[in-house]
Amino acid sequence: MNDDQWVAGISKKDAGRYSRQLLVDDFGVSGQKNLKNLNVLIVGAGGLGCPVATYLGAAGIGTIGIVDYDHISLDNLHRQVAYKEDQVGKSKAQALADNIKLQNSDLNVQVHNTSLDSSNAMQLFKNYEIVCDCTDNVATRYLINDVCVLLNIPLVSGSALRWDGQLSVYHYGSDCPCYRCLFPSPPDPNSVTNCNEGGVLGPIVGVIGSMQALEVMKIAAKVRTTLAGQLLLFDGREGKSRTIRLRKRDPKCEVCGDNPTITAPIDYVLFCGAGAHDKIENLKLLELSDRVNVTEYRNKRREQKPVLLDTRPSLEFEIAHLPEAINVTLKECRSLSAEDISNRLGLQNTEHSDVFVICHRGNDSQRAVLLLREKLVDIKFRDIIGGYEQWALKINDMFPLY
């Protein structure tokens, strides 16, 4: 036999590039080859989508599809670390594709600069073998789940809020539940907090997104210890994680059960309740006569210093507030007595009978007015339409928008 004869399991170029992965037991050459032949779809190019795409791209996945309709904004950069300042305003799907291609020019990246909905999801998903849910709203979560079940695609699902994150692999293997097996009906839209309200720390989405990428690599390499049928809960504040075993597939599940009633994508916004898809609800609880717009409020404060009650959580109050604002959170409006609220606002010894109420976007301020009216009947409470957001947009563009 000649000295220059050998059997190559992998190309010389790939052996060099991916050598540290090839040396990992249970992954090796077969895992690498499987990755190279894999088509993975990432839905959502935000906090989770950035690490998922970056690690999968670097690891040498054959084809990565990226779906997102949104554009990069400045307040994305603290956690969506794949993006640069000069990409603010650009399409997320395109920018993420460009960035991972720069890192690994061998990748085939498909950009889907669109909103995923019932009309396009089946067509879009059918070209992929694994889907990663990196989105942030319940309606899209059910849509992605159902379409994965209908097309028999495993789903690697992550979520993160504040200090916490969780992930699981759904619909992978015969006993494995789907998202709908565990949550047959959607949560009350009013109880859902997303990171645009509750906030989230960058490293939390970094941890969860990296773990989603790892689950994809494990599925590709046929490693048996995936998170299928389990839910990993990560508590970043305590630095702890735990994994809980989930119930098995529910034979009565409407989509993956023995007699499914959902055989094609449904109307998910209707199913989840109005507001579930919109990040910013726009409540109209009050008559217009009980409300003022920001221009009217500006004129009032030019005449005399008004009493302004700010219902936002104290963390938001600390970010910025008008100098006259007094922080009584919505929770406190509920729990405090009429006397305590009156004291906090300094109403006891004054002639004031008008109080204006402000919040971030004009939803909680209306809820507060309804509560306060009952407690302090002699005071006229009026909310400021659109809250601080409108103040920043229409009155003072130096006021911090968040």
Ligand X SMILES: Nc1ncnc2c1ncn2[C@@H]1O[C@H](COP(=O)(O)OP(=O)(O)OP(=O)(O)O)[C@@H](O)[C@H]1O
Q: Under the rule (CB under 6 A), what is the footprint of ligand X? A: 44-47, 67-70, 75-76, 92, 115-116, 135-137, 140, 194-196, 279
Site size for Zn ion (CB under 5 A)? 5
- If you count them, how many residues does the chain have? 402
Q: Are 112 and 124 in contact (CB under 8 A)?
A: yes
Q: Are 233 and 166 in contact (CB under 8 A)?
A: yes
Out of ligand X, Zn ion, none, what residue 181 binds, judged by CB under 5 to 8 A for its kind, is: Zn ion
Catalytic residue among 176, 195, 272, 333: 195
* 256 touches Zn ion by CB under 5 A: yes
Distances (CA, A) of 79 to 83, 132, 162, 167, 256: 9, 18, 12, 18, 34
359 catalytic? Reply is yes
Out of Zn ion, ligand X, none, what residue 180 binds, judged by CB under 5 to 8 A for its kind, is: Zn ion
Distances (CA, A) of 185 to 18, 44, 138, 177, 273: 44, 23, 11, 15, 11
Out of Zn ion, ligand X, none, what residue 99 binds, judged by CB under 5 to 8 A for its kind, is: none
The answer on whether 92 is annotated among ligand-binding residues is: yes
Judged by beta carbon, residue 36 or residue 249, the one nearer Zn ion is 249
Q: Tokens 């949104």: give the residue.
A: 70
Judged by beta carbon, residue 244 or residue 274, the one nearer ligand X is 274
From the CA atom positions of the chain, what is the Rg in Å? 26
Question: Smallest distance, Å, CB 45 to ligand X?
Answer: 5
Helix axes 49-59, 202-220, angle to 10 degrees: 40
Out of Zn ion, ligand X, none, what residue 178 binds, judged by CB under 5 to 8 A for its kind, is: Zn ion
* 144 touches Zn ion by CB under 5 A: no
Burial class (CB in 10 A: 0-12, 13-18, 19+), 194: middle
Out of ligand X, Zn ion, none, what residue 115 binds, judged by CB under 5 to 8 A for its kind, is: ligand X
Question: Smallest distance, Å, CB 52 to Zn ion?
Answer: 23
Among residue numbers 145 through 204, which ones bind Zn ion (CB under 5 A)?
178, 180-181
Distance CA 86, CA 129 (A): 33
Question: Smallest distance, Å, CB 167 to ligand X?
Answer: 14
Alpha helix positions (H), 132-289: 138-150, 179-182, 195-198, 202-220, 268-272
Q: Annotated binding site: which residue ranges?
A: 47, 68, 75-79, 92, 136-137, 178, 181, 253, 256
Q: Annotated binding site for Zn(2+): which residue ranges?
A: 178, 181, 253, 256
Q: Annotated active-site positions, please?
A: 195, 359
What residues make contact with Zn ion under the rule CB under 5 A?
178, 180-181, 253, 256
